[in-house]
């Protein structure tokens, strides 16, 4: 959905922390929720933004939804940031 959506998704600390948790491996929504104080519905909306930015991918496993980090989009953001520096050009 574009790099704008990705940077927008990265702008909230809770969402960055979700990504940090997922870097150790896939995790269900409930398992993720255990690491936060905020309500599950609020978290669910954060998940939706990460999914919208394709920073995460979801897979259903029985009644649970398992979230996976999508490293390639994270790399796209990294590349975007890097291009703001004087490395190339």
Mark 15-54 with x for binding to DNA (rule: CB under 7 A) and - for no binding: -------------xxxx-x---xxxxxxxxxxxxx-----
Half-sphere exposure of 88 (CA within 13 A, CB side): 6
Q: Closest CB to DNA among 64 and 87?
A: 64
**Strand (E) or helix (H) holding 81:** helix 71-82
Task: Confirm if 56 and 68 have CB atoms less than 8 A apart.
Answer: yes
Binding site for a second copy (CB under 8 A): 4, 7-8, 10-11, 13, 16, 19-20, 23-24, 69, 71, 74-75, 77-78, 80-86, 89
């Amino acid at each position: 959905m574009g790099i704008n959506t990705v940077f927008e998704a990265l702008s909230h600390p809770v969402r960055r922390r979700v990504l940090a948790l997922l870097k150790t491996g896939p995790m269900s929504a409930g398992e993720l929720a255990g690491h936060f104080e905020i309500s599950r519905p609020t978290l669910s909306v954060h998940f939706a933004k990460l999914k919208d930015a394709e920073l995460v991918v979801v897979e259903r496993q029985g009644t649970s939804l398992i979230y996976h980090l999508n490293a390639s989009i994270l790399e796209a953001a990294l590349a975007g940031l890097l291009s703001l520096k004087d490395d190339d050009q």
